[in-house]
Structure 1
Amino acid sequence: MDNTTEQAINYEYYYDLAVTDTPGSASFQVLYMSHIYIPMLYFMMFFAGFSGNLFVLIVIGNRHKRSRRLVDTFVLNLALADLVFVFTLPLWAVSAGQFDHWPFGNVLCKISSYIITVNRFSNIFFLTCMSVDRYLAVVRLMDSHFLRSSKCVHLTCGVVWGISLLFGIPSLVYRNLYEQDDKGFCLDNLESFFFRAMILLTVFLTFMLPVLIIVLCYGSILVKLRSHSITAANPRTEARRRHSLKIVFTIITTFLVSWLPYNVFKTIQVISKMSDAELSHDTHIYLARGLIISSCLAFVNSCVNPAIYLFLDKQFRRSAAAMCLNCLRHGDTQQSYFSSNSISNGTTESLGSTTSRARLFSLTQKN
């Protein structure tokens, strides 16, 4: 066995989207029939994520600037990041359907992996920014005029994009196409100590730290809402508090359910590699299965965000409904316009033909 093949097999055990026990072998699959249902799942994510996030961009983009909230800026950037990400899903779907063979070349292998990493950073950072914005709006409203200004929010979005693009570079460098038996496999180079350290750092920056910030922000919000509710004893205030609790619970639950399994399996993967632990074959299989399922679950997060806005954000629902009604009215106006034009043209033609016949009749009488 040559060095390239041995390295590819070694990577396969630690590959975050592994499908086969040995690269290029369809005789044994980590997940039975995964080459069929994983591509279907990815294509479903693509259509749902593309239409949903594009709808979010159109609805919020069509709002008048005066009616936009500051948090809508974060929502727009989050939807844009998710929209760019879902364009890579058809590539991964085709690869999964070919038993993890990557037929698109080394450049697309690197770019697709880079986009996933940048989306992972920007997605979680924008979600954290939205949590901080809610904290400032509810708890520190009087002390946050500058932080909640439009200029500061746009600057924050620029910083988030810059950090995400910068921290995604290791994935661009250490993701490569490895050839075996005339087939290529898009894999991470986990032999690099720097890249393994960067993976652990990203787990901290993109999960542990954001979760801590989100919990602190929404914990403070809940305390504030509860104190105001007790003081006011107003049913409307109590209703708003319950609605805020529901939104908070949904956002945090979606975040944890989407990213907790992936980060747990990814941490186990890297730590076992760094410690040179001798894992059994069954442990490798369980780890690969966990990474496949948790990766799919993490990808789903980019598709469910539009649904969260639609079902929980009343202002977003009103804007979406108003936009749809305007489109329908515009279509009806165009249809009635063309109908009236056709009627008027038909009337004019009939009048014209009647006049011609009258003139012809008078000339005949004179002759």
Structure 2
Amino acid sequence: CVPVQEWACLSLDHQLLSLSHVYLPILYFIIFFAGVLGNLFVLVVIVSRHKRRGRLVDTFMLNLALADLVFVFTLPLWAVSARQHDQWPFGNLLCKLSSYIIAVNRFSNISFLTCMSIDRYLAIVRLMESHLLRSSRCVHFTCGVVWAASLVLGIPSLVFRRLMMHGDSSSCLEDLNSSFFQVMVLLSVVLTFIFPVLVIVLCYGSIIVKLHEHSATSNLRTNARHRHSLKTVCTIITVFLVSWLPFNVFKSIQVISKISNTELDEDLERYLSRGLIISSCLAFVNSCVNPAIYLFLDKHFRHSATVLCLSWLGQGDIQQSYFSSNSVSTSESVGSTASHGCLFSLTSTN
């Protein structure tokens, strides 16, 4: 959408998508409100759960929700810009800052997903050797490294995004004529999509093989818990792939054509730009769907959310009854990593 409008070579007077100045702002504000409410709710539920008992994976979930929350706060700016036919009325500083936040969110989002996948691999496939790596201190250190790396890797977007004048109007665009930035764009595709996807596939491939090996000796309850865990994780990863794959494909084609000095005809250039608009919208939707996935597929998150909502409504007796009736199920999802069943139930991730 507007945050990735790299079609500066095209005339701004020629609208790439009919009525985009109408439906793009609407879509942006829908993502904004859904993202703010959903991710705030996730943060509150996880923080309240940590006061009683928490899962290691909750730390990754909390940081991921925080990254998505910061990102969606930039969407009203882009909505206003889209409404004004891609003109940017907020100045150069906000142009750079909002673009930087988008880049940081992109790096941190996939990094936390990858960390969750590695955590699942260690907990299920390398259980006996992973006590130190899966300690609370190590998880917090890992989150700090992810944030630091994301802040650094987002700097090129801060430097190479600027206001570009077109007559009396200005737009917030990337300078794709810079060779350095072209290389950084391709590198970001590798770091934020290709490499993480390979790691995730290897981790969950190993997990599936491990679960298949032990399925014959596991009881029905354990098998059901394993299937539930894999369903949740597979849904999250599938949503991420569907959200970000089109954008990475269109972005790579655009940059490679510039690096190779390939001249694209006007129609192909327009189709490419339209693809970037639509695919970036799809990518940004990813920042507001994770809370819904947690609520519908993660029974432990749903349990904690229900308990919290009951406490807000002042239903203390009902809350206590609900908590007691689910204490056995909840206890399987938290606490020490010494329990094999506990580790499987921790698979409710991003």
1:317-347 CA-to-partner distances (Å, cap 9, x unmatched) read 1110000001111799xxxxxxxxxxxxxxx
- Give the aligned residue type for 2:109: N
Match of residue 96, structure 1, among 67, 75, 82: 82
Match of residue 316, structure 1, among 287, 301, 308: 301
Secondary structure, in 3 states, of the residue corresponding to 1:309? helix
Change (3 A) 1:23 1:102: farther
Return the alpha-carbon distance in structure 1 between the equivalents of residues 16 and 180 of structure 2: 28
Matched, 1:260 2:245: yes
1:1-367 equivalence runs, <5 A: 16-17=4-5, 22-25=10-13, 28-65=14-51, 67-232=53-218, 234-329=219-314
Contact 2:6 2:173 in 1 (8 A): no
Q: How many residues get paired?
A: 316
Secondary structure, in 3 states, of the residue corresponding to 1:63? helix
Alignment RMSD, CA only? Answer: 1.8
Q: Which range moved further: 128-137 or 42-51?
A: 128-137
Contact 1:49 1:82 in 2 (8 A): yes
Q: Which range moved further: 246-255 or 256-265?
A: 246-255
Return the alpha-carbon distance in structure 2 between the equivalents of residues 97 and 230 of structure 1: 59
Contact 2:125 2:210 in 1 (8 A): yes
Contact 2:6 2:174 in 1 (8 A): no
Q: CA deviation at 1:223?
A: 1.0
* Percent of aligned positions that are identical: 69
Return the alpha-carbon distance in structure 2 between the equivalents of residues 264 and 45 of structure 1: 23
Q: Which range moved further: 119-128 or 137-146?
A: 137-146
Change (3 A) 1:190 1:64: closer
1:268-317 CA-to-partner distances (Å, cap 9, x unmatched) read 00000111111000000110010001000000110011111111111111
- Give the aligned residue type for 1:235: L
Change (3 A) 1:61 1:23: farther
Return the alpha-carbon distance in structure 2 between the equivalents of residues 66 and 145 of structure 1: 22
Return the alpha-carbon distance in structure 2 between the equivalents of residues 79 and 44 of structure 1: 17
Contact 1:20 1:100 in 2 (8 A): no
Return the alpha-carbon distance in structure 2 between the equivalents of residues 169 and 218 of structure 1: 32
Q: CA deviation at 1:21?
A: 7.9
- Give the aligned residue type for 1:325: L
- Give the aligned residue type for 2:27: L
- Give the aligned residue type for 2:268: T
Return the alpha-carbon distance in structure 2 between the equivalents of residues 149 and 15 of structure 1: 38
Contact 2:29 2:79 in 1 (8 A): yes
- Give the aligned residue type for 2:144: G
Highest relative contact order (Cα 8 Å, sep 6+), 1 or 2? 2
Secondary structure, in 3 states, of the residue corresponding to 2:216? helix
Return the alpha-carbon distance in structure 1 between the equivalents of residues 23 and 9 of structure 2: 18
Structure 1 segments (4+ residues) deviating >6 Å: none
Contact 1:19 1:100 in 2 (8 A): no
Q: Which range moved further: 98-107 or 241-250?
A: 241-250
Q: Which range moved further: 136-145 or 247-256?
A: 247-256
Change (3 A) 1:132 1:274: same
1:62-107 CA-to-partner distances (Å, cap 9, x unmatched) read 1244511110000000000000000000000010111100000000
Larger helix fraction of residues: 1
Contact 1:49 1:83 in 2 (8 A): yes
Return the alpha-carbon distance in structure 2 between the equivalents of residues 161 and 15 of structure 1: 21
Contact 1:21 1:30 in 2 (8 A): no
Unpaired segments of 5 or more residues in structure 1?
1-13, 333-367
1:104-137 CA-to-partner distances (Å, cap 9, x unmatched) read 0000000000000000000010011011111111
Contact 1:255 1:301 in 2 (8 A): yes
- Give the aligned residue type for 1:119: N
- Give the aligned residue type for 2:5: L
Q: CA deviation at 1:265?
A: 0.3
Aligned to 1:345: none
Secondary structure, in 3 states, of the residue corresponding to 2:163? strand
Secondary structure, in 3 states, of the residue corresponding to 1:230? coil
Return the alpha-carbon distance in structure 2 between the equivalents of residues 90 and 177 of structure 1: 18
Q: CA deviation at 1:179?
A: 1.4
Q: TM-score, normalising length from structure 2? A: 0.87
Q: TM-score, normalising length from structure 1? A: 0.83
Contact 1:258 1:298 in 2 (8 A): yes
- Give the aligned residue type for 2:206: S
